[in-house]
Structure 1
Amino acid sequence: TIGSISREEMWGRLKYFLDELMPVAEEAGVKMVAHPDDPPLPVLRDTARLFYSMEEYEKLLTLNTSPNNGFELCMGTVQEMIGSDVYAMIDKYSKADKIGYIHFRNVVGKVPHYREAFIDEGDIDMVKALRILKKNNYDGVLIPDHTPEMTCAAPWHAGMAYALGYMKGAMQAIESE
């Protein structure tokens, strides 16, 4: 059995890892991005977690200031975080070019009482999020993620098709503004 690991020890290990890795990533032209903890809880199964709040994202970026150090912005996970502002986070970090890619998904509620939702029915105004990204000239990848399944012969595929269709339609509408 592995004993519990403190948050301080995990941050120390991450700093060591980033300090060793980032010079190599820079030389190779590779961006390294961290995914937030999902669900965003400070401790899970007696193990401290690092990326469960907006403040932890900032700590990651100050831990190693390489231009190649960033994160994956999971919109659903950020929305689930207590005290989060998904629009402020999208705005700040898309301007700073710190977003490696975006999990474009929606949820209803905050931890511990939340549920995943179809892309157009959650708490996030996805069109507003896209407008912020456009304003900041974000040119990265948007990935539909955690799409609810539909009752049909291909439930996962249908959910993904629904999300992709919504995303494409929303982006086309914004482009014409």
Structure 2
Amino acid sequence: MRQTWRWFGPKDLTSIDDITQAGAAGVVSALHHVPNGVVWTAEEIARRHQDIQTRKDGSPSGLTWDVVESLPVTEDMKKQKGNWREHIENYKISMHNLAASGIETICYNFMPVLDWTRTDLRWTVANGGSCMRFDINDFAAFDIHILKRPGAPADYTNAIADEAARRVADMNDDEKKQLARNVTMGLPGSTESMTLEDVQAHLDEYGAISREQLQAHFIDFLEQVVPTAEELGLRLCCHPDDPPFALLGLPRIMSTEADYKYILDAVDSPASGMTFCTGSLGARPDNDLPGIVQRFGPKIHFLHLRNVKRDSDDIAGSFYEAEHLGGDTDMVAVIAAVIAEERRRKAEGRADWQIPMRPDHGQDILDDLGRRSQPGYPTIGRMKGLAELRGVMTALEHHDFGLGR
């Protein structure tokens, strides 16, 4: 696996110098300052490449921009409303510009309205550190009592609805506002966040969109952009829903192995594949993560390695971001399956046999606690996670004791 690191650009509290010291070989980044739906120009892309390649003192960093995460699919594109056709054309132009700069892998997602969703961005764990958490009761409190979405109570069990009512009754106005900000934060690194009015407006525009209709819109999107990706030698890879179950009365269509099979079979191309995120898929107890690697290996173009700890075995349940080797996902089994896939690709002669990975998320520990970095992306917590993952990889690949012996 090629070890990479997510970087949000010059304003990121983790610097390029820090990334080189962490031992990453490549960088995962995006032009978060460019509004969604607008073309990524060659000039802006070149500027980000230069930022990544340069240390603070002006010397070469030795790092390369390996993966784009994310080139956003706009809400208009998902709903097929408004300027969606123009946005798709702009998406293709951006793909051309990225390919011309040497980029080969583009990660994106197809989650309606909310991207990754958490209710607490700095939840205290037993060791005194903090992490992100999704609490289904708090989310129900937001949905039913703060957003006040029509029909929301019917989407929850009586027990969850009752607990949500109890919790919101105990919140003061500032706590309610903080919960709303946490839920509507939007894409990591993005300058675009949504108000409650924005969220409700999107929900109104989606209307009673069915699962089948949203899948059809996704397939339409792929039918238009995948031929461009094939022409340019790009690999597109869809990130799973996070969390992997329906929210706000809208379907989520990339939450399970069956979801991926349906979409990837519908537009079957080496240029269209999966961002395999162990945290997102691992938040559902019915997802077999090592098995997914084995069955979808040829179409896994990018890896997010992180772990979550679930409160229960409910499909739509609460969870928190655990240490990379400490959650409910058997990370050793996952990495072993990835190594087997890489060896298969190498024997097959694939140029992309080495799959880029990054330590996804991390707990805030030590100096991270006072740094107030991008939620989920602390410097030290991720470096600890990368070290743990690197240790597993090294052991499994050891010529005398590992899988290859």
Q: Could you tell me how far 1:15 is from its partner in structure 2?
A: 1.3
One of 279, 302, 305 as aligned partner of 1:76 = 279
Q: Judging changes above 3 Å, is the alpha-carbon distance between structure 1 residues 169 and 3 closer, same or farther for their aligned structure 2 residues?
A: closer
- Measure how far apart 1:125 and its partner are: 2.1
Distance in 2 (alpha carbons) for counterparts of 1:3 and 1:89: 31
> What is the CA distance between 1:34 and its match in structure 2?
0.7
2:335 to 114, 118, 130: 130
Please give the per-residue CA displacement for 1:57-102, whole angstroms capped at 9, x wherever unaligned.
Answer: 11111110112111101111112224111110011112xx101111
Query: How do 1:22-41 and structure 2 match up within 5 A?
Result: 22-41=226-245
- Separation in 2, partners of 1:3, 1:12: 14
Q: State which of 142, 146, 151 in structure 1 corresponds to 2:361.
A: 146
Tell me, in whole angstroms, the C-alpha distance in 2 between the residues paired with 1:89 and 1:99.
10
Identity %: 28
State the SS of the aligned residue for 2:367: coil
1:160 maps to: 382
RMSD, matched Cα: 1.5
Query: Matched residues in 1 for 2:236 and 2:293: separation?
Result: 18
Larger Rg: 2
The offset of 1:154, in angstroms, is: 2.5
Aligned residue for 2:240, secondary structure, equals: coil
Return the TM-score normalized by structure 2: 0.41
What pairs up with 1:7-156 in 2 under 5 angstroms?
Answer: 7-41=211-245, 43-94=246-297, 97-109=298-310, 110=313, 111-137=316-342, 139-150=354-365, 152-155=366-369, 156=378
SS in 1 for 2:320: strand
| Structure with the larger strand share | 1
- Of stretches 14-23 and 106-115 in structure 1, the one that deviates more from structure 2 is 106-115
Segments of structure 1 that go 5 or more residues without pairing to the other structure are none
CA distance in 1, matches of 2:239, 2:338: 19
Tell me how far apart the structure 1 counterparts of residues 380 and 338 of structure 2 sit (CA, whole Å). Answer: 26
CA distance in 1 between partners of 2:269 and 2:229 (Å): 9
Q: Is the 8 A contact 1:102 1:141 kept in 2?
A: yes
Structure 2 distance, partners of 1:82, 1:162, is 26
Structure 1 segments, 4+ long, off by >3 Å, are none
Please give the per-residue CA displacement for 1:20-44, whole angstroms capped at 9, x wherever unaligned. Answer: 1111110000111111110001x21
Moved more, 99-108 or 119-128: 119-128
5+ residue gaps, structure 2, are 1-200, 343-352, 370-377
- How far apart are residue 124 of structure 1 and its match? 1.8
- Note the C-alpha offset of 1:149: 1.3
| SS of corresponding position for 1:154 | helix
Alignment-mate amino acid for residue 129 of structure 1:
V
- Partner AA of 1:13 in structure 2: H
